[in-house]
Structure 1
Amino acid sequence: MRELAVLGTASQVPTRHRNHNGYLLRFDDEVILFDPGEGTQRQMLLAGLAVSPITRICITHFHGDHSLGLPGVLQRISLDKVPHPVTVHYPAQGQEYYDRLRHATSYWDNAEIVAAPVSGASFTAGRITALPLWHSLPTYGYRLTEPDGRRMVPGLLAAHGISGPAVGELQRAGRLGDVTLDQVSTARPGQSFAFVMDTGLCDNVYALAEGVDLLVIESTFLDEDAGMARMVGHLTARQAAAVARESRVRVLVLTHFSQRYQDASRYLREARLEFDGEIVLAEDLMRIPFPARTATG
């Protein structure tokens, strides 16, 4: 199953209706928690989500609305004795903050938590890539990319008399007798996801977003406050939508909303000026299905 569960959509100050950040992505065997802000553990409970499937936690930067929920989540992982390793990615320059959050209080440490700090101009771990962004402290955006594959065509398999376990053997070996994988399948480009928080416009925003199926991106400010957004290293909804348009994004998810605006629909109206594709205005506890594959992807 591929799905994004939205746990919180506020920016620095939570509101009665918006918790601090938190996003749980299910992508087949990867279950990734992004930016667990304060209250994430309770939001997961309200959403009917357990910590036990989590395989990775990705932190973009160490501002409280993106990381203060980490201690509770890690302690719950330990309490539930999650049997598999859980890898935590975070900016290496924030190591002192990670160390404090990792053991913020006393508890029985019954899980394998693997620290995997991110550094440099580009960082890759499996299908995850991280690129530095432009903010007031070291910040990274993340991208998950599925490798290209092949889609088996039943009619072509039948025409070559291939069925049952032989199909799996053909997929693994690439050939079965005189029949090659290309003869009974079509290309299936991989899908992709990008997570961009707390940044002003920079080249890596576009690099992360390029051609993704689902882009989750901060849109803290409205256009009327573009000067303030630029000064503090944030995006407006219109800028986020322009990124989606220029990067050929399929589904755009706007989030990280400032409490200064009472009417959230204004974000959507401004984004529509730049992007005519599918836009989701994120709400707490919303589930967003990963877009279905197209004929080419």
Structure 2
Amino acid sequence: MKQFDVNILGCGSALPTLQHNPSCQVVEMCEKVFMVDCGEGSQLQYRKSKLGFGKLNQIFVSHTHGDHCFGLIGLISTLGLLGRTGDLVIHGVPDLELILKPQLDYFCKDMSYKVLTNTFDPKKSEVVYENRSMKVTTIPLEHRVPCAGFLFQEKQADRHLIREKIDFYDVPVKERVNIKQGADFVTNEGKIIPNSQLTRPADTPRSYAYCADTAYKEDIVDIIEGVDLLYHEATFTESDISRAKKTGHSTARQAAMIAKQANAKKLILGHFSSRYTDNTVLLKEAQTVFPNTILANEGLCESL
């Protein structure tokens, strides 16, 4: 199977701590590298990860709070210093364009590449990026400012040819594409060879959902149904649920409830409040509802 990795570069919340960096992740899939959110210091975390700046393809920004976007202009500038020539596309809410433009005009006038922004409506679930192998869909979230999560999905691949059967029936090369897509084969004598005898099923498509900075929102369950891996913010414990409601965040238990309702296979908790010096209290709370839960941490790489 092709690589599909989620790398955690930062999983803290707004107030800086020595324990965690601000929000940033890198998703490697279908031979491309995508960044999700870019808090302060993300480019340093990226360099530590040894992923390679030249591989970065697109950036997805959930919302315009600083702990999710303060690192953008530094990263953009560094890519220019490194001689990048290919366009960099940044997907975000409309306000992101207002924030970036004056910074780009002042700091990045003569860069060797273009920064393009693709804005989306955070109130709608829509495809914002797509290629032959995968797509990225927005997930409307509920926060103090317009905010969206992102669902990374592989597309269903073609079936696998059974080489010995293809050779045995002398299937012409020009017909193999159709057979991989499910067609039967008709021999020169008119005999129909069922597709099931010529192919094996393709690998099941994998998916990853990123839901950072949101109040408890059951509406997203249908969008992320059956997801292989879910990252959901868990800023607070249930003992601080009033604070969570006031600030537009979730508790660890609420994150676990979303994972359970969505039939997710695995849950990663993140976006930890600085008030908790030991994040295992969040983990234990979530695991009472959804046992297959782990804590995000800088350097964590989850392979799907």
Q: Is contact 1:56–1:87 with CA below 8 Å preserved after alignment?
A: yes
**TM value normalised by structure 1:** 0.87
CA separation in 1, counterparts of 2:114 and 2:169? 41
Change (3 A) 1:101 1:152: same
Give me the identity figure in percent: 26
From 31, 34, 43, the equivalent of 1:32 is 34
**3-state DSSP class of the match of 2:213?**
coil
* Counterpart check, 1:134 vs 2:142: yes
CA-CA distance at 1:187 after TM superposition: 4.7
Contact 1:17 1:284 in 2 (8 A): no
In structure 2, the residue corresponding to 1:52 is in which secondary structure? helix
Mapped to 1, the partners of 2:169 and 2:8 lie a distance apart of 41
Equivalent in 246, 269, 281 of residue 295 of structure 2: 281
Residue of 160, 173, 195 corresponding to 1:152? 160
Deviation of the 1:78 alpha carbon: 2.0
Matches within 5 A, 1:245-256: 245-256=260-271
Aligned to 1:294: none
What SS does structure 1 have at the residue aligned with 2:263? coil
**Count of residues paired in the alignment:** 287
Distance in 2 of aligned mates of 1:82 and 1:168: 40
- Identify which of 84, 102, 124 aligns with 2:127: 124
Q: Say whether 1:54 aligns with 2:62.
A: no
Deviations 1:205-242 (A, max 9, x none): 32343211111111100110011101111011111011
Write the distance in 2 (CA, Å) between the matches of 1:281 and 1:75. 32
Once residues 204 and 95 of structure 1 are traced to their aligned partners in structure 2, the CA distance between those partners, rounded to angstroms, is 27
Q: Contact 2:255–2:286 (CA<8 Å) still a contact in 1?
A: yes
Residues in 2 aligned to 1:261 and 1:4: alpha-carbon distance in whole angstroms: 24
Runs of at least 5 residues in structure 1 that lack an aligned partner in the other structure: 291-297
Could you say what secondary structure the match of 1:190 adopts? coil
Q: Is the 8 A contact 2:26 2:33 kept in 1?
A: yes
Distance 1:239 1:82, change over 3 A: same
- AA in 1 matched with 2:32: E
Q: 1:215 to 1:177 in 2, by over 3 A?
A: same
Mapped contact 2:63–2:92 kept (Cα < 8 A)? yes
Deviation at 1:167, TM superposition (A): 7.2
Contact map agreement 1:209 1:247 (CA 8 A) in 2: yes
- Partner Cα distance (2:59, 2:109) in 1: 20
After alignment, is 243-252 or 42-51 more displaced? 42-51
Aligned to 2:190: none
Residue 153 (structure 1) shift: 5.7
**C-alpha distance in structure 1 between counterparts of 2:176 and 2:82, whole Å:** 40
Query: Any unmatched runs of 5+ in structure 2?
Result: 187-192
Distance 2:43 2:195 in 1: 45
CA deviation after TM superposition for structure 1 residue 74, in Å? 1.2
**Alignment CA distance shift 1:153-1:56 (3 Å):** same
TM-score relative to the length of structure 2: 0.86
TM-align CA RMSD: 2.5
Distance in 1 between residues matched to 2:170 and 2:204, nearest whole Å = 25
Residue in 2 that maps onto 1:223: 238
Deviation of residue 83 (structure 1)? 4.0
2:29 is equivalent to residue 14 of structure 1:
no
**Taking structure 1 as reference, are residues 79 and 263 closer, same or farther at Cα in structure 2, changes over 3 Å only?**
same
Per-residue Cα deviation, 1:35-55 (whole angstroms, up to 9, x for no partner): 110000111122222221111
